[in-house]
């Protein structure tokens, strides 16, 4: 599984003459650590890059280059990165969305999409974590959506699963993963949050006992 970000090798253009959309597009791309070209809307058809961000008002009706519009701002940066990967239609071997979770006082989260890690973070609030997970699960298309949770703190793990089952209105696969071998790999990482994020990454790459979770609206 390669850790190379496929978006780093893609040319992305921002094409708008409006100040506010340009600022938001550029801010998001900088947050994602992606470089970009600034072009005029009338240059869209001749742009030789791989993806263009523009407004609906300035978007051509027909364009060979994939386009994204200002409605992507409804999503968190992780989902935007995933949507950009979808639009680029890169030749990925996998079509899964996998979330690895290391539950604890600081809960680590690792998100893999098409076999690439698109988020590594940690969260101190279970409520905030679950809300974020729901936005990621709901915002990205995938053949399979798998949530893998370490078994090191089953109290918090079950709390996360219960909230997901109550609030996420679609099905997903759930795995509880044995954390014992993951903790050995990261024993030398003591920085705040780094251990949790690395553990979540290892959890996302391990197999556990799988359950299919159906939303309560389907199960009653």
Residues contacting residue 156 through CB under 8 Å, at least 6 positions apart: 103, 104, 107, 126
Least confident residue range of 30-34, 139-143, 180-184: 180-184
Least confident residue range of 27-41, 84-98, 134-148, 154-168: 84-98
- Longest CA pairwise span in the chain (Å): 57
Radius of gyration of the chain measured on its C-alpha atoms: 19
Least confident residue range of 43-52, 93-102, 136-145, 180-189: 180-189
**pLDDT range class, residue 149, cuts 50, 70, 90:** very high
Q: Is 6 helix (H, G, I), strand (E, B) or coil?
A: helix
pLDDT of the residue at 192: 63
Mean pLDDT, residues 24-28 taken together? 94
Residues contacting residue 145 through CB under 8 Å, at least 6 positions apart: 96, 97, 137, 170, 171, 172, 173
Eight-state DSSP code of residue 215: P
Nearest to 108 by CA among 216, 50, 194: 194
Nearest to 152 by CA among 184, 174, 179, 183: 179
d(CA 41, CA 59): 7
Above 70 in pLDDT, residue 220? Answer: no
Q: pTM of the entire structure?
A: 0.85
**pLDDT range class, residue 91, cuts 50, 70, 90:** low
Above 70 in pLDDT, residue 183? Answer: no
Q: Encode pLDDT of 118-131 as tens digits.
A: 999 999 999 999 99
Residue 112 in contact with residue 118, Cβ under 8 Å?
Answer: yes
The residue ranking higher by pLDDT, 53 or 191, is 53
The domains of the chain, with CATH numbers, are 7-74 (3.40.50.11420), 96-219 (3.30.420)
Q: Calculate the average pLDDT of the chain.
A: 87
**pLDDT range class, residue 93, cuts 50, 70, 90:** low
Here the tokens at position 33 are: 């650590």
115 exposed, middle or buried (CB, 10 Å; 0-12, 13-18, 19+)? middle
The residue ranking higher by pLDDT, 214 or 166, is 166
d(CA 128, CA 136): 13
Residue 100 in contact with residue 110, Cβ under 8 Å?
Answer: yes
- Beta strand 107-113 with 116-123 is antiparallel
pLDDT of the residue at 1: 44
């Amino acid at each position: 599984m390669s850790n190379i970000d496929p978006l780093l090798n893609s040319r992305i253009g921002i094409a708008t003459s409006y100040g506010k959309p340009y600022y938001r597009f550029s801010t998001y791309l900088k947050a994602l650590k992606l470089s970009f070209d600034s072009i005029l809307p009338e240059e869209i058809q001749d742009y030789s890059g791989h993806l263009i961000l523009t407004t609906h008002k300035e978007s051509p009706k027909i364009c060979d280059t994939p386009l994204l519009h200002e409605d992507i701002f409804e999503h968190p940066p992780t989902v935007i990165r995933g949507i950009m990967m979808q639009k680029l239609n890169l030749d990925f071997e996998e079509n899964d969305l996998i979330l690895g979770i290391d539950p604890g006082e600081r809960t680590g989260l690792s998100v893999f999409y098409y076999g690439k890690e698109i988020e590594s973070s940690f969260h101190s609030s279970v409520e905030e974590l679950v809300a974020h997970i729901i936005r990621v699960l709901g915002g990205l298309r995938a053949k399979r959506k798998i949530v893998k949770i370490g078994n090191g703190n089953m109290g918090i793990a079950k709390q996360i699963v219960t909230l997901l089952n109550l609030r996420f209105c679609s099905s997903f696969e759930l795995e509880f993963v044995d954390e014992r071998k993951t903790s050995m790999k990261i024993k030398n990482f003591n920085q705040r949050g780094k251990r949790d994020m690395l553990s979540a990454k290892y959890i996302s790459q391990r197999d556990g006992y799988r359950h299919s979770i159906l939303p309560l609206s389907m199960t009653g």
